[in-house]
């Protein structure tokens, strides 16, 4: 690790002063962290953060969030972020929405015993409001929608990649803690995805499938291949059309989340769809780019490579989690219709598997205001939660349970089994994994 006395990064006078302790020892430590980060990324200098933050640190869960002592130190020093911020979904303490066993609830209560104090610290440090918890913050109902070109220091891999690719904002993939510290100093390294050069594509990804692939399977294939590089994706506009329709926004949110989970993709361009690709086209491709062709076989092979992580691999599914990342209002209606239609077709009233759908508080509030739609889901036995499905597996709380999901991101971070949407609906109504899906 490099020391601060021997830096290549150019610092402004104010930054040097803070580094020397002019704004107190805690701010000095915060600045040192951000400056060393810039040095490691090869940044020429730090630049001002221009918009609201979004961070991956909502839970008072060791190993994911900054420790409380660190937050106490920041608050005691009177520090807060330069702009308000939103956070990933809140801790899984909305038990009435989750249908957990008593021992699971107790384990979660113990795990998140410091959550109230943690939430208070987040508000003191700049959290926008007490409902600002979702991994889909750029939905109109939530409203953290940075403008194109805005410099940010976001974390949450799914959000950073969406902000860069679809909104055209500029953020690196910052890790937990670095997100908060960068936004406290209000500066982030001018490196990587903040630069025009860093936004050029070094991979041409040709999608040659017979139909629109599942976004989280396609994203996983891309992420696994290109790792941290920037892909320029062609072949999706023939399925999705040009530009950014509501459906396309949802598709890209899911695809990007999987790209970022299975690789470290912080930016992708999609021909005729994402803003920089619309403006610059294949001019975004670096001359010596590599090419990756994705066909149906490639995606089938990838799907077949996923291990079944259930304790009993032959078990009947017990639970289903939908909404990782959090669903949009349109997706919530889509699932409501699909579940309703599938139940009607089998003359069933309820799903055979306990199902929880996850979405932002503001989205659920709007959905619940539509009494007819909400009633349909309730009658089917579906619960609605504002938390994160992934947290239900933290600390082994749901380890080995026969959970199914439509999220390849959730699969990667848990023992849940992944099924594409259509197959998942079949399993939900029948309660069984049949035939080829086994």
Partner 1 sequence: MTHVGFNAYASFSTSIHTRVEAAQCADSSNQELYGKNLTDKIICLPKTTGSTSAGAVWQRVARMGVAPKAMLFSQQIDSLAAGGLIVADVWVGKRICAVDQLGDEFLESVKDGDRIVIREDGTVTITSGQQTEPRGRV
Residues forming contacts to partner 1 in the complex (CB under 8 A) are: 1-2, 29, 32-33, 36-37, 40-42, 56-57, 61-67, 70, 111, 155-157, 160, 172-179, 181, 192, 223-224, 227-228, 260-264, 266, 307, 309, 394-396, 412-413
- Cβ proximity to partner 1: between 177 and 364 the closer is 177
Q: Cβ of residue 14: shortest distance to partner 1, in angstroms?
A: 20
Q: How far apart are CA 145 and CA 147, in angstroms?
A: 6
Sheet of strand 382-385: strand arrangement: 382-385, 354-359, 319-327, 403-405, 417-418
Question: 11: which 2 tokens?
Answer: 């610092």
CB burial readout 347-358, b (16+ within 10 A) else e: eeeebbbbbbbb
- Cβ proximity to partner 1: between 135 and 382 the closer is 135
- Cβ proximity to partner 1: between 43 and 363 the closer is 43
Question: 268: which 2 tokens?
Answer: 């992708």
Q: Cβ of residue 47: shortest distance to partner 1, in angstroms?
A: 15
- Cβ proximity to partner 1: between 2 and 350 the closer is 2
Q: Cβ of residue 64: shortest distance to partner 1, in angstroms?
A: 5
Q: Is 42 left (phi over 0), alpha (psi -120 to 50) or beta?
A: left
Sign of the four-CA dihedral 88, 89, 93, 99: negative
Q: Cβ of residue 366: shortest distance to partner 1, in angstroms?
A: 28
- Cβ proximity to partner 1: between 1 and 210 the closer is 1
Q: Cβ of residue 364: shortest distance to partner 1, in angstroms?
A: 24
Q: How far apart are CA 392 and CA 89, in angstroms?
A: 12
Residue 155 CB partners (closer than 8 Å, separation 6+):
54, 55, 56, 57, 173, 174, 175, 176, 178, 179
Neighbours of 281 (CB within 10 A): 13
- Cβ proximity to partner 1: between 47 and 332 the closer is 47
Question: 272: which 2 tokens?
Answer: 């005729």
Closest CA to 330 of 141, 133, 131, 54: 141
Q: Cβ of residue 318: shortest distance to partner 1, in angstroms?
A: 20
Residue 241 CB partners (closer than 8 Å, separation 6+):
248
Cα distances (angstroms) measured from residue 37 to each of 25, 56, 79? 18, 18, 20
Q: Cβ of residue 292: shortest distance to partner 1, in angstroms?
A: 15
Cβ(269)–Cβ(255) under 8 Å? no
Question: 407: which 2 tokens?
Answer: 């999220």
Cβ(397)–Cβ(422) under 8 Å? no
- Cβ proximity to partner 1: between 114 and 426 the closer is 114
- Cβ proximity to partner 1: between 99 and 395 the closer is 395
- Cβ proximity to partner 1: between 176 and 278 the closer is 176
Q: Cβ of residue 347: shortest distance to partner 1, in angstroms?
A: 39
Cα angle: 170, vertex 172, 177; to 5 degrees: 125
Q: Cβ of residue 387: shortest distance to partner 1, in angstroms?
A: 15
């Amino acid at each position: 690790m490099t020391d601060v006395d021997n830096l290549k990064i150019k610092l402004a006078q104010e930054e040097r002063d803070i580094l020397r302790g002019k704004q107190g020892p805690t701010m000095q430590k915060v600045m040192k962290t951000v400056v060393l980060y810039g040095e490691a990324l090869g940044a020429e200098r730090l630049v001002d953060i221009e918009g609201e933050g979004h961070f991956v640190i909502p839970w008072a869960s060791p190993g994911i969030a900054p420790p409380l002592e660190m937050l106490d130190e920041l608050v005691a020093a009177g520090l807060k972020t330069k702009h308000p911020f939103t956070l990933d979904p809140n801790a899984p303490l909305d038990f009435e929405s989750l249908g957990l066993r008593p021992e699971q609830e107790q384990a979660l209560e113990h795990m998140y015993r410091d959550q109230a104090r943690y939430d208070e610290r987040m508000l003191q440090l700049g959290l926008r409001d007490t409902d600002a918890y979702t991994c889909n913050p750029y939905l109109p109902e939530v409203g953290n929608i940075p403008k194109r070109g805005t410099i940010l220091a976001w974390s949450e891999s799914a959000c950073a990649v969406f902000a860069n690719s679809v909104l055209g904002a500029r953020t690196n993939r910052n890790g937990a803690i670095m997100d908060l510290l960068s936004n406290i100093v209000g500066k982030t390294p001018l490196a990587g995805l903040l630069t025009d050069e860093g936004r050029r594509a070094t991979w041409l990804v040709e999608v040659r499938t017979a139909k629109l692939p599942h976004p989280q399977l396609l994203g996983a294939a891309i992420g696994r291949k290109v790792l941290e590089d920037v892909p320029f994706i062609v072949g999706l506009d023939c399925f999705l059309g040009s530009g950014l329709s509501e459906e396309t926004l949802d598709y890209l949110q899911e695809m990007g989340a999987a790209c970022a989970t299975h690789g470290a993709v912080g930016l992708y361009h999609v021909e005729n769809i994402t803003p920089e690709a619309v403006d610059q086209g294949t001019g975004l491709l670096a001359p010596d780019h590599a090419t990756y062709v994705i066909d149906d076989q490639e995606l089938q092979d990838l799907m077949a490579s996923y291990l079944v992580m259930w304790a009993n691999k032959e078990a009947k599914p017990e639970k289903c989690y939908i909404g990782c990342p959090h669903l949009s209002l349109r997706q919530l209606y889509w699932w409501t219709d699909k579940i309703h239609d599938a139940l009607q077709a089998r003359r069933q009233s309820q799903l055979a598997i306990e199902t929880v759908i996850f979405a932002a508080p503001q989205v659920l509030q709007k959905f619940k205001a539509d009494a007819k739609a909400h009633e349909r889901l309730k009658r089917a036995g579906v619960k609605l939660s504002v938390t994160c499905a992934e947290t239900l597996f933290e600390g082994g709380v749901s380890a080995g349970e026969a959970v199914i999901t439509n999220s390849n991101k959730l699969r990667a971070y848990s023992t849940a089994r992944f099924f594409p949407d259509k197959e998942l609906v079949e399993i939900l109504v029948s309660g069984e994994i049949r035939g080829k899906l086994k």
